[in-house]
Chain A
Amino acid sequence: MSSTTFPRPQATTRSVTGISTGKLAVWWIVASEIVIFGGLLVFYLLMRFRHGDPWAEAATHTNIYIGAFNTFVLLTSSLFAVLAHQAAESDNGKKAARFLMYTIGGALMFLCVKSYEWSIEIEKGYVLTKNVFWGCYYLITGLHGFHVIAGAIIMGFVAKDAAKGKDLQRVECIGIYWHFVDIVWLFLFPLFYTTAAG
């Protein structure tokens, strides 16, 4: 990467608000992401309220145990992200990088479980085009999964630099993003798994 040679303008180093520019930008990214997922979830909720029972019945066919396990995996990975931040605060780049690798491990685990879960659903015939509930299920959890992949890739770059003790402030930035991805899942899990018929 050309990052070693790219000279940062003075603008990047200024901080009128007292918050670092990178962190500020991440918060704005999170804000714009909230409205994207917000739009999808509002669509889902509107449809669910309108259709009532058939949708609640459809939700019983999602696998609550796999969903719960994945919730656990993501929450654990978030814990490692916090530990990485703590290590970065005390200027221990190597340790921060190691914790970030654990977080990436959590992301990979989540994705593997997710693919296994999807393949079970598809085998049972619950495919994307079956009805609007399953359409929402695949699209929304799929978009979330896409964010997990993106987050893990970026985290790889951050960890690589952090291991050399470079740009440690980024560990916190990617952590903020990772917690956001995690929190989105905390909305998806009850909406698609636990609030079923009964």
Chain B
Amino acid sequence: MDATTTATTSGHTESHGHGHHEESFVSKYLLSTDHKIIGMQYMFTGLIMALIGGYLAYVFRMQLAYPGEEIPGYGILTPGDYNSKVTMHGTIMIFWVAMPVLIAAFGNFLIPLMIGCDDMVFPRINRLSYQIFLISAIILVASFFVPGGAFGGAWTAYPPLSATAEYNLTPLGAPLWLIAVALEFVAFLLGGINFITTVMNSRAKGMSMYDIPLVVWMIVIASILFMLSVGPLVAGAVLLLFDQIGGTNFYNPAAGGDPLVWQHLFWFFGHPEVYVVLLPAMGIVAEVIAVFSRKKFFGYKLALYTTFATGILSFVVWAHHQFVAGIDPRMTNLFTVTTLLISIPIAELLFLYIATLYRGSIEFSVPMLWALGFIATFLIGGVTGIYLGANGTDIFFHDTYFVVAHFHYTFFPIAIIGMYAGLTYWFPKMFGRHMNQTIGKIHFWFTIIPFNLIFLPQFLLGLAGQHRRIYDFSNFPQLSTHELQHLRIVATTSLIVMLIAQVPFIINFFYSIFKGRKAEKNPWKANTLEWTADSPPGHGNWAVLPDVHRGPYEYSHPDRDEDYWPQDEPSK
């Protein structure tokens, strides 16, 4: 299907090239087909959704720390509302923050700039993708305000809880949730096709497969994973939607259906999805580490093959989410093996990062702090995952706060730390100005320390047997002891500190966009192509599109006076 045949929104035309004519605000920022603007749209939408998700976390953490009391800025939280808040927190943070920011925003902004072309191959499909995504976000947020409130069946939407309004108490929220998720997947499928074909077909002259920066590789592999895994969930979602509103019984065991099939369909997508958001974050960290260690990335090809291996393995680990769901115990052994296997390539990647750091001349700039913070925290997430991937221990840990702490130690580094690493690193390119480094460092420390104080106590709570989905622990004598309640209060207080610490970032961000110190073309002395364009790049990115002469990580080459060697500089 070509761009023209599927572009549904028409009427907007713009002259190609270098913007010598005035454009209205709407056509320049809202209806633009420029990949940089679309990336920004995804970025800002994702950041706004992150604020909503953070607020939801504040509400239900307050309930857990001070059960039944009035929450400042919200009021009394009822049990049904609690379920809805937790569900929406998970949904928003994964589907409307991690996905749009890491894949769509960075993918859109970076891919054409890093492979040296003027735009995505299908600019109008790209715009359509964002518009569908925006509609999905609006539907999701609107579902807070329908009678019954937003969906309360947990973000994994297991039937029969999610299929029957009598159980989840959200008769309108549930189908709206499904429709929003489905629309969002359509948006990312369109975006993913764009990413993959752009990188396959539109690289700069001279750029071989092994000259592509790792972050671009990883975004593309993530897009392929997404495209090949999301189908079964789309299929499952159609069945679930008909169960909710069409009167069918696909997941109703009483009428010949099977609720377990949803779990298989969901996690067949859900586990690759972890790597869909992880890989772009890994790629961002790889770029940052190479630049601020002034060293060639250690084992570029190995990192690439490792990423392929991760991608392939990620398709055969899904049932480790279902060890206690009543699947065959022999099958759980099989999935234990594959799950433990996948920790090998990921550990290998982390070792490559550490090897890149080893004996480099490390500069502790703000992006580098975030990158190092990513390695440190993600390591904890990865190591605790081994206990959950092994069926023996998982039976004990399943559905406890140990799981909650584990996946926040993976998703927080991915979605928040990885995002900040990328945002602070490419900020000069995105807006043509520098952010304030001092405020940046304060923001880093006041985010990373409270983050650990939120989730380290939750490991302990999980070990004590605290179940994930309980509204009020005072009914459980073993769980409502002083010590455990104290841990919950520590976690909640730390969350509030962390949320407040985002204020200086927001101020720094907006102040710097308009008033920050002007950035030159290549402030970090980096090699990749985006740093040869203007800051910020104009429409079309370059006056003459660059050629590529070498790989992306030629730092501190012994034959050169300068310690970097841009990809587009011809060899003498």
User: Provided the pairs A43-B236, A129-B249 are in contact, do residues A10 and B117 lie with their beta carbons within 8 angstroms?
Assistant: yes
- Distance between A117 CB and nearest chain B CB, rounded to angstroms: 19
User: Provided the pairs A11-B119, A50-B258 are in contact, do residues A29 and B1 lie with their beta carbons within 8 angstroms?
Assistant: yes
Residues on A with beta carbons closer than 8 Å to the beta carbon of B112: 11
Are A135 and B5 in contact, with the CB atoms below 8 A? no
Are A32 and B202 in contact, with the CB atoms below 8 A? no
Are A132 and B257 in contact, with the CB atoms below 8 A? yes
CA distance A167 to B232 in the complex (A): 34
Are A129 and B248 in contact, with the CB atoms below 8 A? yes
Are B193 and A39 in contact, with the CB atoms below 8 A? no
User: Provided the pairs A1-B10, A39-B231 are in contact, do residues A25 and B265 lie with their beta carbons within 8 angstroms?
Assistant: no
- Distance between A107 CB and nearest chain B CB, rounded to angstroms: 16
Tell me what chain A mostly uses at the interface: helix, strand, loop, or mixed: helix
- Distance between B124 CB and nearest chain A CB, rounded to angstroms: 7
- The winner among A17, A29, A36, A38 for most chain B CB atoms within 10 A is A36
B347 within 8 A of A: no
Are A128 and B247 in contact, with the CB atoms below 8 A? yes
B477 within 8 A of A: no
Are B2 and A32 in contact, with the CB atoms below 8 A? no
CA distance A172 to B331 in the complex (A): 44
B255 within 8 A of A: yes
- Distance between B474 CB and nearest chain A CB, rounded to angstroms: 42
User: Provided the pairs A1-B4, A173-B2 are in contact, do residues A6 and B255 lie with their beta carbons within 8 angstroms?
Assistant: no
Residues on B with beta carbons closer than 8 Å to the beta carbon of A109: none
Are B197 and A25 in contact, with the CB atoms below 8 A? yes
Residues on A with beta carbons closer than 8 Å to the beta carbon of B10: 1-3
On chain A, the number of residues with a Cβ less than 8 Å from chain B's Cβ atoms is: 57
Residues on B with beta carbons closer than 8 Å to the beta carbon of A16: 200-203
A177 within 8 A of B: yes
B246 within 8 A of A: yes
Please give me the residue from chain B that is nearest to A177 by CB atom: B1
A-B contacts counted at CB < 8 A amount to: 181
A125 within 8 A of B: no
User: Provided the pairs A9-B119, A11-B117, A154-B6 are in contact, do residues A33 and B231 lie with their beta carbons within 8 angstroms?
Assistant: yes
Chain A 1-19, CB-CB to B under 8 Å as 1, else 0, gives 1110111111110111101
Residues on A with beta carbons closer than 8 Å to the beta carbon of B232: 35-36, 38-39, 42
Are B235 and A39 in contact, with the CB atoms below 8 A? yes
Are B13 and A2 in contact, with the CB atoms below 8 A? yes
Chain B 104-133, CB-CB to A under 8 Å as 1, else 0, gives 000000001000011111111000000000
User: Provided the pairs A31-B227, A34-B231 are in contact, do residues A11 and B16 lie with their beta carbons within 8 angstroms?
Assistant: no
CA distance A31 to B224 in the complex (A): 10
Neighbour of B227 across the interface among A28, A38, A50, CB < 8 A: A28
Neighbour of A2 across the interface among B12, B118, B230, CB < 8 A: B12
Residues on A with beta carbons closer than 8 Å to the beta carbon of B2: 22, 25, 167, 169-170, 173
Are B193 and A29 in contact, with the CB atoms below 8 A? yes
Residues on A with beta carbons closer than 8 Å to the beta carbon of B540: 9
Are B228 and A154 in contact, with the CB atoms below 8 A? no
Interface residues of B in 216-259 (CB under 8 A from A): 227-236, 238-239, 242, 246-250, 255-258
- List 19 interface pairs A-B (beta carbons < 8 Å), by A numbering: A2-B13, A6-B7, A7-B14, A11-B202, A12-B119, A12-B122, A14-B203, A19-B201, A21-B201, A22-B1, A35-B230, A35-B232, A36-B231, A42-B232, A135-B249, A139-B238, A154-B1, A154-B6, A157-B5
Q: Using a CB–CB distance below 8 Å, which chain A residues touch chain B?
A: 1-3, 5-12, 14-17, 19, 21-22, 24-26, 28-29, 31-40, 42-43, 46-47, 50-51, 128-129, 131-132, 135-136, 139, 143, 154, 157-158, 161, 167, 169-170, 173-174, 177
**Other A-B pairs, 12, CB within 8 Å; known A8-B3, A143-B238:** A2-B13, A7-B16, A10-B545, A11-B112, A15-B201, A24-B200, A33-B231, A47-B257, A50-B258, A128-B248, A135-B249, A161-B4
